[in-house]
Structure 1
Amino acid sequence: MGGLRELAAPFVASGPSGVAVRTRLKQLTARDEEVLRRVGAHLGTLACRDLRTRCHDGLDHDAKAWAARKRELTPVSSARWAGAITKATHDQWALARRCALAHLQSLQAGVQTLRHRLSLPLGAKGGKRAPGGYRSRREWHAKARRLHILEDRLARERADWTAGRVHVVRGGKRLARMRHQLPAARLTEPQWRARWEAARWFLRADGESGKRYGNETIRISPDGEVSIRLPAPLKELANAPHGRYVLTGRVAFAHRGPQWADRVAANRAIAYRIHHDPARGRWYVTASWQKPVTRTIPLAAALSEGVIGVDTNADHLAAWRLDAHGNPTGSPRRFSYDLTGTADHRDAQVRHALTRLLHWARSCGVQAIAIEDLDFTAEKTREKHGHRKRFRQLVSGLPTGRLRARLVSMADAMGITVVAVDPAYTSQWGAQHWQKPLTSTTRRTTRHGAAAVAIGRRAQGYSVRRRTAPPRAHRSDVHGHRTVQAAPDAPGGEETRPRVPGPRTRSVPPDAERTRATRTPRTVRGVRSEQERVQDPLLLTDQER
């Protein structure tokens, strides 16, 4: 046990802090679409310039520089549009900064692993903590060359991090690089150009409490009327007072519609974003608002009715229900999903699997779901796992971040608590202690189901082992219960099994020893009695007589 790392204590995951709903803008006229395109292109150009200025400032940026940027944007847009653009720029720069730090740490881990493996003799075996040496001289030479490449990249990333430089593209690097691979992406240049321009448009506005309907720039009334405050250079396009343009179509939010309507009626802040999908030729509007963080209940209260342990895998969720004492009850459940295809398809698959899981938890009366607190940030590099390419792909395919965020959000809406546990050794110990005992002639327990039991028991504070070691003094109950599941006040939890006479215990009735010597045997061993050979005349029929 000396080589095992210390396990972190389970904790109740915090609920979501915001809500976002989306609906389609329908019944738009050609003029409506033209106005949206011109406004988005104009504001997108201003956003590109502001991002360039922010990246040029680097670490020297402060509140005064932010105010100066906003003053420059106000004459060519408006005060509120300028505030939305500068805030979006700041968030994008901060995100790029965090991604640069994660990339820097990944390069450092790769360089350390390569240096360690190159220092070992060829063919040296590795362990669970560190990999071994390379298998051949050829592989050693190739990895030595890769070490120099990673060291150069690491030096550049450190210099950029120190100087505060970030590499960011409005519209996304993936879409920008797709321009040079149009045949592989099955796109023509006009199709790519339409996607590129739509991704760089800017049509978003932050909400403001106390203003009419919660937003002064992009306003949606309770009956679904959408109006936009036009920038100063585009005032001639207005069809409503105060430089506003009202769209022809009406919108309605099907998901969380009553919540949105309540906020609009109370003039509470709501942020809106209008975006275009060139592939489908549709326009969408997304409404988002902040919500107070749900107060987490104590861990003991959440686990009072038991827990459902969930093991996350690349293609399914393995779940098992446990009672309040850590005993698995019922049968395991499996919620499959397919993570191939487009991002929307993958997201829908994960959402559908979580919906089935939560409905099953509600039907069981369980108020808590235990899930592993997975983070594979440093586990995806090929320098650590070597030739285990399929394993790296398996780890990269696990939807850890998206699944955990969606589960917390959906569970909060249904009143179910999510408990995060340390993922260390759950699969190994679950298979060791629970896979075989839970396997029967009618049920084959998988390794993932056993891991779900281990996760649930760890959330409850029990050890994964099914039984604790008995006391050394003797095998009685002097030192308390031997099972961690039974409560201290459980009567008869560890008493000796009573001896029940009968064929099951191969014993005779209680009074057999006392009457055995005084009874007279009716038969002789090996000889049939006369009573057995004589037929009872009452049993003969009339025909036989």
Structure 2
Amino acid sequence: MELSDRVAGGGGMAGLREVATPFVADGPAGVAIRSSLKGLTGQDEKVLRLTGGLLGSLASRDLKARCAAGLDRGSDQWARRKRALTDQSSSRWAGSITKATHDQCALAQRGQLAYIQYLQAGIDMIARRLSLPVGAKGSKGSPGGYRSRKEWFAKSRRLRLLQDRLGRERADRDAGRVRVVRGGRKLLRNRHNLQATRLTEAQWRVRWEAERWFLQADGESGKRYGNETMRVSPDGEVSIRLPAPLAGLANAPHGRYALACRVGFRHRGQQWTDRIAANRAVAYRIHFDVERGRWYLTASWQIPPVRTVPLEAARSGGLIGVDTNADHLAAWRLDAHGNPVGEPRRFDYDLSGRAPYRDAQVRHALIRLLHWAKRHRLAIAIEDLDFQAEKTREKHGRRKRFRQLVSGMPVGRLRGRLVSMAAELGITVVAVDPAYTSRWGAQHWQRPLTTKTRKTTRHDAAAVAIGRRALGRPIRRRTQPPPPHRSDVVGHRTVQAASGIPEREETRPRIPGPRTRSIGAGRGAKAGDQCAHNRSGHTAEHEFCHQDSPRSVSRNGWSGGRRRPAGMD
């Protein structure tokens, strides 16, 4: 599927939009590593559940207070909420809860704005199609009118429905109201459809409570091991500063509880050790996986922005163009001039199944692509795709499978993972505009790159187009000149004379010069002598004669089927 053209490309060839300039993608701004908490005792789990439940209830109250405040987002309102939480927990726990509430509300506001844009796009599309006559045909990238009066009437009702939703969302945004569900709206809705989710009420309740627990604390530079609330020592000991109501459960000085297990980080373990040894800030989060029945500890910290190389430096040695598709990544290596080198590569992944399986498939495909780029020391060019505003059914009509295909592509997550993983290997990622890459790639590169032993697909050709755009080269190739400019007035320069032409059997006139590759004037006295040819009854000037291929004969001015004297070479 040419998603980059159908979704991101815009209209037809008559009204091409301006293509954005390629740019080097910024590297990651943070790092997160995870390890399991093995060997927890029953008392440890009890303390974690009680602490998570207490802090989770405080986080819910703080979120409710923040949503009720509306447009009152000043520092005074934030300080009042923090003081109210400090009496029931501690100052540091209150700071972590209020910061998490702030981040969650900011995310909800961004989602609210995206939903408003989604509704407006659907309203504009329906209004345009309703204004067209019933049955009117559309063009490329622009659908026509609706097929029947029945469909027209149904869409007019949907238009009013979307307008009402848009009005409510805009009123909420103007009033500063956001709707957030701690634990997830999807899990909340599953409560009313337990049979479809294959869960009992007790199982759902365990998941719901685990998702609403709050066990995370921000780091503090200058404090011991970078975090005063949740501390992990270099030898792996994990200790938690308990809230005031649970201070009686402490088993360590200063109201702390130390877990019986030890934790270690295999991935980036040395970086984490160096950071806590210098007492630099490290944030921790403890969460419980209900399905596996395991506890996990996640450590995260900020890193300085990765210094990206200039775009010209990334182009210097060529790069690898990558086309993102629903089930694979199509890649082709290009040199600095934009010419494909070697054979195309395909990195498959399967996006069916559950989220952990899909995530593992994407990571496996990306690591194979990165290892290939690392081996050739090349940058990677990928499309800057964003399907968030293009998944509406109003834009793509009845093509339900196509809409599902677009919605299922993890373009944002894939690019984020690619940039993060490439930064670790020192590989540069160049993002390009996705407009018309598949269309022009298939039009100009699929057929020339197809051979008897290689079948070039549209996705392979799109990878070439993406790479050429990242290199600053034009995707579309030069068309052939008109026939009169390719030869002597449409015909070949050396056309054999017809049978009715006089003197066609006479000696061919000599035309010296490099065009016919003949010898110079005044040489080869036997050129016009019929005895010089290798024929029965005549002596030849040279014993060895050969017949040229049709291509060489035509190029050298000899008609097909005749023997050419060796002296004319």
- Give your verdict on TM over 0.5: yes
Which amino acid in structure 1 is aligned with residue 447 of structure 2?
K
Give the unaligned 5+ runs of structure 1: 476-500, 533-545
Q: Secondary structure at the match of 1:297?
A: coil
Matched, 1:9 2:24: no
Q: Secondary structure at the match of 2:445?
A: helix
Aligned match of 1:485: none
1:376 Cα shift? 1.2
Among 401, 405, 413, the residue aligned to 1:394: 405
Q: What CA deviation, in whole Å up to 9, does each residue of 1:145-195 have, x standing for no partner?
A: 111111111111111111111111100000011001111101111111000
Report 1:182-221 matches (<5 A).
Answer: 182-221=194-233
Q: Secondary structure at the match of 1:194?
A: helix
Which amino acid in structure 1 is aligned with residue 124 of structure 2?
Q
C-alpha spacing 1:271/1:521, structure 2 compared with 1 (3 Å): same
Aligned match of 1:379: 390
When the two structures are superposed, what TM-score results if normalisation uses the length of structure 2? 0.84
Report 1:108-507 matches (<5 A).
Answer: 108-366=120-378, 368-467=379-478
Aligned match of 1:102: 114
Cα distance in 1, alignment partners of residues 70 and 308 from structure 2: 39
Aligned match of 2:49: 37
C-alpha spacing 1:194/1:524, structure 2 compared with 1 (3 Å): closer
C-alpha spacing 1:523/1:449, structure 2 compared with 1 (3 Å): closer
Q: What CA deviation, in whole Å up to 9, does each residue of 1:374-431 have, x standing for no partner?
A: 1112211011111111111121122110001000000000001100101000000000
Cα distance in 1, alignment partners of residues 176 and 420 from structure 2: 34
1:507 Cα shift? 7.3
Q: Secondary structure at the match of 1:102?
A: helix
Q: Secondary structure at the match of 1:261?
A: helix
Deviates more, 1:373-382 or 1:454-463: 373-382
- RMSD (Å), alpha carbons: 2.4
Q: Secondary structure at the match of 1:59?
A: coil
Q: Secondary structure at the match of 1:60?
A: coil
C-alpha spacing 1:141/1:516, structure 2 compared with 1 (3 Å): same
Aligned match of 1:482: none
Deviates more, 1:323-332 or 1:149-158: 149-158
Aligned match of 1:483: none
Matched, 1:70 2:70: no
Aligned match of 2:490: none
Deviates more, 1:518-527 or 1:168-177: 518-527
Aligned match of 2:507: none
Q: What CA deviation, in whole Å up to 9, does each residue of 1:34-58 have, x standing for no partner?
A: 0000000000000000000000001
When the two structures are superposed, what TM-score results if normalisation uses the length of structure 1? 0.88
Which amino acid in structure 2 is aligned with residue 166 of structure 1?
V
Which amino acid in structure 2 is aligned with residue 432 of structure 1?
Q
Q: What CA deviation, in whole Å up to 9, does each residue of 1:511-534 have, x standing for no partner?
A: 9955545796597527999xx9xx
Aligned match of 1:480: none
Q: What CA deviation, in whole Å up to 9, does each residue of 1:293-322 have, x standing for no partner?
A: 011111001111111000001110000000
Q: What is the aligned residue count?
A: 501
C-alpha spacing 1:436/1:469, structure 2 compared with 1 (3 Å): closer
Cα distance in 2, alignment partners of residues 509 and 412 from structure 1: 64
Deviates more, 1:260-269 or 1:33-42: 260-269
Deviates more, 1:124-133 or 1:423-432: 124-133
